[in-house]
Amino acid sequence: MIKKIVKKIILVLSMTLMLTTANCFASSIIKEEIVNKDNIEYIKRTYSIPTEEKNIFLLNLEKQFKINKKNYELVDTKKEGGDITETINISTSKTIYSNSNKIDDILSMLEQEIKYDEGGFIGVYKLDIDSLDIKSKYNGYKEYLVEDTKEYIDLDTNDLDNIPKQIMKDGLVLDLITTNWEVTETRNLQDNIIPSKYKAICYYATKKKVDNPLTFIVKADYFGTAEKTTKQDFIYEITYKCVSEDKNIYPTIIIAGGTTLIVCVFLFGRKKNVVIYNYENRRWKEIGKQSIIRPKIKLDRYNYMIKTNRFKIEISEKFINKYNGKMLRIKRKNMTIDKFINKDNNIKPYTIDIVI
């Protein structure tokens, strides 16, 4: 009867520990293989680690562990990948119109640098002064009026035959356009007053064609480089060597009857001192909490939430202080991993990153 009650309590405890979820930083193992070489067994693990988690990964990288009574030690670490920066050469040209062909005037109109931002590449074009190509552009001609006014006095008659039909001005021939006559003297003829002298006011004009000012077409070339950084995970290949195999380091503990019940009830009421995370979709997901009094953790109780074989385990400082220098046994299915507890070689909270 007591054994049945104990089993029920343990079952309730197991279910209770499965009811929480949370997120943490992300990394993943993408490959694990066992290799035998010269009768020595090696475990090779390949991890995909985001750039921002590289330092955390290396800090928590286990130097030794135990699986199924076999002791493994880290012997090799290889790193590839990481962020990739691509560099391309860029060039462009710009055309402007200037009223001057002087270099200083032209340079004052041109940008010395032009920003480049296309397809993820970012860079700067820089003006190549030696590339300046200056060509003049003929803009045709325009006409303007050249005019002058002349007065001719003391004329006996108001006859145009006495007036010059053309005059010269600034090397141009101006044509007579209009004439205004004025009487300057008169005389009496049979009781009539008649004009005897005239003044002619003559307006001359012509059109002159002149070239419009030249404009200058300036073509300038710009050259530079642009970069694009593509975020990629680091790929770490970690190799462990099997250095020894030993016997079961934990004695079998048998607690009978009512004592077992008391221990289980005590466990049920204890504060959770272990948090279990499982890697899923490039993030850590909290799958449960446990309250342990011995250095032994079982992961099978979380099978319905486990997505990968990558786990992160956070352990309370109080538990670590108690079992510092001891071995922590972690079990899942038919696999067992023993981890050495060293509180001086870890971060807070004490964290174990394993693949099992």
Pairwise CA distance, residues 122 & 228, whole Å: 6
State the residue range of the domain holding 90: 84-139+214-230
**Confidence (pLDDT) at 260:** 41
Phi, psi angle pair for 326, to nearest 5°: -100, 175
What is the pTM for the complete model shown? 0.42
Pairwise CA distance, residues 310 & 48, whole Å: 12
User: Residues 277, 218: one domain?
Assistant: no
Cβ neighbours around 328 below 10 Å, total: 24
User: Residues 34, 15: one domain?
Assistant: yes
CA proximity to 311, closest of 274, 287, 278: 278
Pairwise CA distance, residues 350 & 121, whole Å: 42
User: Residues 259, 294: one domain?
Assistant: yes
The total number of structural domains in the chain stands at 3
User: Residues 269, 247: one domain?
Assistant: yes
User: Residues 247, 195: one domain?
Assistant: no
Under 8 Å between Cβ of 250 and 66: no
User: Residues 89, 104: one domain?
Assistant: yes
DSSP letter string, 38-105: TTEEEEEEEEEE-GGGHHHHHHH--SEEEETTEEEEEEEEEEEE--EEEEEEEEEEEEEEES---HHH
Predicted confidence (pLDDT) at residue 10 exceeds the cutoff of 80: no
- Taking every pair of Cα atoms in the chain, the longest distance, rounded to a whole number of angstroms, is 172
Q: Give pLDDT tens digits for 231-265.
A: 888 899 999 999 998 765 444 444 334 444 444 44
User: Residues 238, 327: one domain?
Assistant: yes
**Confidence (pLDDT) at 340:** 86
**Confidence (pLDDT) at 281:** 86
First vs last C-alpha separation in the chain: 36
Last residue of a domain, one of 175, 200, 230: 230
Q: Give pLDDT tens digits for 137-194.
A: 888 888 999 999 999 999 999 999 989 999 999 999 999 999 999 999 999 888 889 9
CA proximity to 95, closest of 150, 43, 145, 132: 132
User: Residues 89, 171: one domain?
Assistant: no
Q: Give pLDDT tens digits for 16-66.
A: 333 332 233 445 677 888 999 999 999 999 988 888 888 888 888 888 888
